[in-house]
Structure formats: C-alpha cells, structure tokens
Structure 1
Amino acid sequence: MADNSTQSIDDHLEKQHFIRVCNAFKFYRTHSHRRINDSEISYRALPEHHQEMVPDFLENLENIRTCVDHNYEIIKLILQDAEYMFENQTQETIHDSVEDVKKTFPTSADMDKVRTTLKQFVRDWSPLGQQERDACYRPVIEEITHRFPIDLCERSSVKVLIPGAGLGRLALEFAKLGFTCQGNEWSLFMLLGSNFILNKCREENSLTLYPWVHQWCNNKYTEDQIRQAQLPDINPAGIPEDSNFSMAAGDFLEVYREPEEWDCVATVFFLDTARNVIAYVETIWKILQPGGYWVNLGPLLYHYAEMADEHSIELSYEQVKKVIIKTGFLFEKEEMDIKSSYTQSADSMFQYQYNSVFFVVRKPL
C-alpha cells in the first residue's frame, strides 16, 4: 500500500510539473508583453525633448510586440498535442481545471527556460547556429567517426548515447551517419521542443523565429533585437529509413542502469548539469562496454551551484580528471581551451565564451 501511495504522489508531482512547464509556454506572450509595456511606460515618463531625440522608440516596441506574437505562434505549434508526447501516459494538459492552473503558475525561472529553449532552436536547427555547432559538435562527431570508421565496422551495430541531448541535433547527426543513437534529456522544456522539431517539422527553413527579441541590452543596432532565424536548416526526417534513432526522457542516472550496453557515450555541455559529477562518471563507466569510448566537450558551469535547497559539489577539472582515472578510464586524447559559446547572439556587444575541455577516454578491455 505504501508503494502505491508513493507512486501516486510521484505521478501527481510529475503531472503538476508537466502542467507548469506547459503553462510557462502558454504564458510567454503575456509575460513578454509586460516587459514591452514597462519600456513604453519608461519612455513616456521621459521629458518631451528626450522623447523627440528617439522618435522611433515606440515604433520599435511595436516591432518587438509583433516578433513576440510570431514566436507565440510557434509555441502554440510546440504545445499542440503535447499531452500525447509520452507513449506511456497522457497528461491531459488541455483539460486542466482553473485550480490546477493556479497551483502550477510558472515561475520567473520557468520563463527564463522558455526563452532559453527558443534560443536553443537557433543553436541546434538554424544556419545562425552553425558556428556554435562547428565548435561544439564537430570535434565530437569527427572523433567518434574516426574511432568507428565505416570501412572497418557496421555502424548500425555501434550504439551511441547522447545524454543532455537538448533539441536532438547532435543525436540526429550520428543517426544520419549510420550509428544506432539515442538522445537522453531530462528538461521538459527541451523535450517539448525536440518532440516538435524532430516529429513535426518536415520542410527546411519553413519556420521563422525571433530568438533575440528578449535581449534588451548590448544591442549594437536597433534591428539586432528583432533579427530573425530560419529553421530547421535541414529536414529532421531526412535520415535513412533503416536508421535506429530515438529520444529518451528522464534523469540520466535513473534511466541508464543496464551495464555494458553502449559502445560510446558523447557528452557536450553536460557534465556540469550534475549535482554530483562523480555519479555521472561512475554511471558512464558502468553502461559502457569494455573497449568503449567516452567523448566529452564542455565547461564546468555547475548548474546547481549556489541554488537554494539544492545539494551540489563543484569540482575543478583537475579533480574531475582524477575521478575519471580512479574510476578506471584511460585517457587517449585531451585538449584544453576549446573556444565555445552557448546560444550566443553573434551580433551582441556582450560575448560570453568558454574555454572548454575536450577529451576522449576508453574503458579498457
């Protein structure tokens, strides 16, 4: 009885979380318009001669409103049939009662995640994201294709896992190359986005998004804030019919417990999503087959550091490397200071760049 009660509580919490995430997307337009209205109020509070110096200010705010409204049209497509996204259950978000909505009202952090998801579409699925993909994805793809050359192995028999797959582009690239590949993602924001782009978008450059419309600071030109991005840059369905490609939802540590199941694990901007990075290292060791490879690229911006009511350990890369070696891995390649960024507008006056680490380690036979 206790187990059933616990499961019932877990199911309820999961549903509430799902509803809150959907509500955050639904609240996007209203939340964004409030910010625009605040700018209009501030402008109208200026002395009249100051207003006359920037006469196009209100016109630009109207352009921003239009871009927000257009983004919201894409959000509505993302949410369409969202309750059927998971095969094992229906969340019934469309029929929530008023009380459910009140209990699951989105937080400011939720709204930040909605905006981040929109920018992630650029990183993964727009020509504007090509530079970031080349810096972060290409070294990993080239390394794994080098380790498993098509003339020496049947790639469909090589199983590649991508934890923290985001909107699924890196995982799809491996599937296009013939590997059996699975992406794993925990964030419902990303899962809703990946479900939309992978399963519902079938024409190149068929969607227009305004990802920087929320960037109020560090704009060189007025037009930078309303610069558009076309997506997807490729047809996500354009992979061989016999491709073995999937996305799995859930916490990496809970979903992947089967020992020696994967030939390769590729982590890009993932290690620092851990509360306990040592647990990530041990799990990767466990699920890799003997002789398997772990390829990593990214920084160590620990996501739970300084977060209230969250336990987190923050190790230096030196410490992480010692953990990897003590776990049993053999280093085969290591490069420091890989210049990389994450959902960065190339036109912004403020640029945030990581000196990422890139390594390849092998689980010995």
Structure 2
Amino acid sequence: MADDVDEIEKKDEEQAEKEHFIRILNAFKFYRSHSMRRVYTAEKSFNGLPQHHQEFIPQFLDNLKTIQTCITHNYEIIRLIIKDAECMFENKTHEADDKPEENLKQMPPTNFDMDKVKTTLKQIVRDWSSTGEEERKMCYDPVIAEVKDIFADRDPSTVGILVPGAGLGRLAFEFAKSGYRCQGNEWSLFMLLASNFVLNKCSEVDCFTLYPWIHQWTNNKMSADQIQPIKFPDVNPSDLPPTSDFSMAAGDFLEVYQTPDAYDCVATVFFLDTAHNVIAYIETIYDILKPGGYWVNLGPLLYHYADIENETSIELSYEEVKKVIKKIGFVIQKEETDISTTYTQNPASMLQYRYSSVMFVCQKPKEPKTA
C-alpha cells in the first residue's frame, strides 16, 4: 500500500515538473505575440488622437514598426535559446513542440511568466554584454576581489567555490576563469535555459544582437533609447583553461546541497532575498562549508516572495539577519554597508533604481562550536 502511495506521489511530482517545464517554454514561445500586443495598443492610442495631434509626431508609427522588427529579432534569439530545451533537461515528451497552440491553450503563460522572459533578456545584458560591465563592477568585482584575497596563499585549483543563484553564470564563469573549481547553482528555468545557450552555444565574442529595452515604454529620453541594441557575449564563454573545473547545477539550493563540509567558499550575490526562509539558506551555507571555509555575500534584501499570494516568506531586517548568522555559528570578519548597486538597469533610462546593498565576509570556525 505504501509503495502504491509513493508511486502515485512520484507520478504527481513528475507531472507537475512536466507542466512547469512546458509552461516556461510556452512563455518563451508567447514572447512575440505578447510583445506585439503592446505595440498594437500604442498604435490604437495614436490612431485615437485628433488628426492635428498626430501631425505633431509624424515619426511615431515608423518607430512602432522599428519596435516590431526588434521584437521579431529578439524572438529569433529566443528560438535559439529554447531550441535544445528538451534535450537539456532530458524531457522524454515533446508536447511543447508537437502541439504548441494546444499547449498554450492548456497552460497559458501568466503575466508573471512574461515578465520573467523580459527579465531574462535584460539578464543577458547584465551578465554577458559590455553594457552590463558597470553593473558587474559594482556587484561581482568586490566579491571576486575578496575571494582572491582570502585564498591568496592557495593554488586556485584546490579551492572549491559554490555560487548559488548563479543566474546566467557570469560570476561562476569568472571564478573558473581565475582557476578556481566552481559550480553555479540556479533554480529558475528561465535562467537555466538562457545560461545553457550562452555558455554552451556561444563560441564567439559579440556574435548575437539583442534589443533588451523595447519593453520600456516610459522614461525614455530619446526614441532611439528604446530600440538601442546590445551585442553578446562580450567574452567567449568557451575560452576557459583546459584544466578548468566549471559546471552549472539545476535545482533548489536547499534540496541540491545537503552534503556537509563540501566547499571552501560560498559566494552569494543578490541571492539571500530569493529565499522563502532566509534562515534555512544561512543554515545550509554553514553546513556545506568546510571548517574554516568562507561565505562572501553582497546584495540587498528585497525578499522576492514578500506580498505574493499563497507564498510563505520571512522578511528579516539586516540587523536580524546578522543575529541569525552569528547564532548559527559564523564569525563575521568583514562588513560594509551602503554599497550602491543596480540590477538589470537600463543606463539610458530617466528612472534609475539603486540598492544600498550590504557586503560581508563570514567564516565557519575551524573547530566545531561547543554547546
């Protein structure tokens, strides 16, 4: 009887994973139609203006046509991103490709899903374009510098680093490029599909073009800003030393990483606040670090699940987070607050969001804590 229950639960879980997978693919496939709708809305608003008002902005419709062209081009990139999706995740069913219209009807993407697709495009800018270099300097460079300083006396190939919440993998890639053994971990299928494309399918510098800002209809100084292209990747992702030990692991951080004393360093950037329960994150980081290992963190506390219906979320202040860090057993060795950072920010926008982030370095004691 128990075996039957386990088998039913396993099938239910597999079905849920399959439906989630197809829903994410559908969101990517719906990108062009979804984006065009916004263009049609703008065109309808223009046509509703009095004729003499239309004459004030004669280039308006031409600009919309250009945006449509950019959307179509972005969709071609998206098709490349999802091309090998089923093979990547060893999905045995290909329903998402066999009956795309039926799947879209059965599992239509939500507005949240479509926002994730747009965010993924902007994440390419942040991680893999020269336009995102300034953001990377703010967010990645301080963490990389700390890790290099901590392990200055060790051969990098002997240092194992984990980067949870790796996004499109640039931070983990930079560690691997510096000779460290590094694994990136990511839960979001949106990010995993895109990172797989960049890391495994891009072998030349600036070989693809993307229009990441066409969905920004407000706060544009110039019409040209909305259709500004970027090229990616700004480096060759396959250009790693032959001895590099670099990988990306898919899955929930708390479920994937349960082996104690496994890593010399955990590097987290804009990651802590992705937790339903930030305390569980901190506990897991402590457990998987080797005695004497280091945790380097930089980011804000946005708390992604706050105020989302039917989602649990514990929102702690930074003061409370520090208390938890110490109670779990970490020794805070360095701390800096008010670090100005941005996240997938359009540098040309009239509206600029900035975080006043914190950065800290913690060490797991070499000797186990006593009761």
User: 1-side partners of 2:296 and 2:272: how far apart?
Assistant: 11
* Residue in 1 that maps onto 2:297: 296
Unaligned runs of 5+ in 1: none
Matches within 5 A, 1:150-161: 152-161=153-162
User: 2-side partners of 1:218 and 1:263: how far apart?
Assistant: 45
User: 2-side partners of 1:212 and 1:100: how far apart?
Assistant: 29
- Secondary structure at the counterpart of residue 41 of structure 2: helix
User: 2-side partners of 1:3 and 1:346: how far apart?
Assistant: 52
* Residue in 1 that maps onto 2:220: 219
Q: How much has 1:86 moved relative to structure 2? A: 2.3
User: 2-side partners of 1:98 and 1:140: how far apart?
Assistant: 45
- The answer to whether structure 1 residue 318 and structure 2 residue 315 are counterparts is no
C-alpha distance after superposition, 1:98-148 (max 9, x if no partner): 544422110000000000000000000000000000000000000001111
* Residue in 2 that maps onto 1:8: 11
Matches within 5 A, 1:14-33: 14-33=17-36
Q: Structure 1 residue aligned with 2:70, among 57, 60, 67?
A: 67
Q: How much has 1:154 moved relative to structure 2? A: 2.1
CA contact (8 A) 1:304 1:310 kept: yes
Give the AA of the match of 1:199. Answer: N
Q: How much has 1:155 moved relative to structure 2? A: 1.4
CA contact (8 A) 1:164 1:267 kept: yes
User: 2-side partners of 1:86 and 1:49: how far apart?
Assistant: 56
User: 1-side partners of 2:177 and 2:85: how far apart?
Assistant: 26
User: 2-side partners of 1:99 and 1:181: how far apart?
Assistant: 41
- The answer to whether structure 1 residue 118 and structure 2 residue 148 are counterparts is no
C-alpha distance after superposition, 1:316-338 (max 9, x if no partner): 00000000001110011100000
- Secondary structure at the counterpart of residue 76 of structure 2: helix
Give the AA of the match of 1:139. Answer: P
For the structure 1 residues 263 and 357, does the alpha-carbon distance in structure 2 shift closer, same or farther, using more than 3 Å as the test?
same
CA contact (8 A) 1:84 1:91 kept: no
C-alpha distance after superposition, 1:249-295 (max 9, x if no partner): 00000000000001100000000000110000000000000000000
For this pair of structures, how many residues does the alignment match? Answer: 362
- Secondary structure at the counterpart of residue 286 of structure 2: helix
For the structure 1 residues 98 and 227, does the alpha-carbon distance in structure 2 shift closer, same or farther, using more than 3 Å as the test?
closer
- Which has the larger displacement, 139-148 or 152-161? 152-161
User: 1-side partners of 2:23 and 2:178: how far apart?
Assistant: 37
C-alpha distance after superposition, 1:279-313 (max 9, x if no partner): 00000000000000000000000000000011111
- Secondary structure at the counterpart of residue 241 of structure 2: coil
* Residue in 1 that maps onto 2:184: 183
Give the AA of the match of 1:76. Answer: R
Q: How much has 1:203 moved relative to structure 2? A: 0.5
User: 2-side partners of 1:274 and 1:24: how far apart?
Assistant: 24
* Residue in 1 that maps onto 2:173: 172
CA contact (8 A) 2:26 2:103 kept: no
Q: Structure 1 residue aligned with 2:139, among 129, 136, 146?
A: 136
Matches within 5 A, 1:231-242: 231-242=232-243
Q: How much has 1:49 moved relative to structure 2? A: 0.6
* Residue in 2 that maps onto 1:364: 365
Q: Percent identity?
A: 61
Unaligned runs of 5+ in 2: 367-371
User: 2-side partners of 1:90 and 1:176: how far apart?
Assistant: 34
Matches within 5 A, 1:195-210: 195-210=196-211
Q: How much has 1:95 moved relative to structure 2? A: 2.7
* Residue in 2 that maps onto 1:334: 335
* Residue in 1 that maps onto 2:259: 258
Give the AA of the match of 2:262. Answer: E
CA contact (8 A) 1:265 1:284 kept: yes
CA contact (8 A) 1:18 1:91 kept: no
For the structure 1 residues 331 and 112, does the alpha-carbon distance in structure 2 shift closer, same or farther, using more than 3 Å as the test?
same
- Secondary structure at the counterpart of residue 316 of structure 2: coil
* Residue in 2 that maps onto 1:51: 54
Q: How much has 1:156 moved relative to structure 2? A: 1.4
The two structures have a TM-score, normalised by structure 1, of 0.98
CA contact (8 A) 2:296 2:360 kept: yes
User: 1-side partners of 2:10 and 2:181: how far apart?
Assistant: 33
User: 1-side partners of 2:179 and 2:11: how far apart?
Assistant: 41
* Residue in 1 that maps onto 2:346: 345
User: 1-side partners of 2:192 and 2:131: how far apart?
Assistant: 22
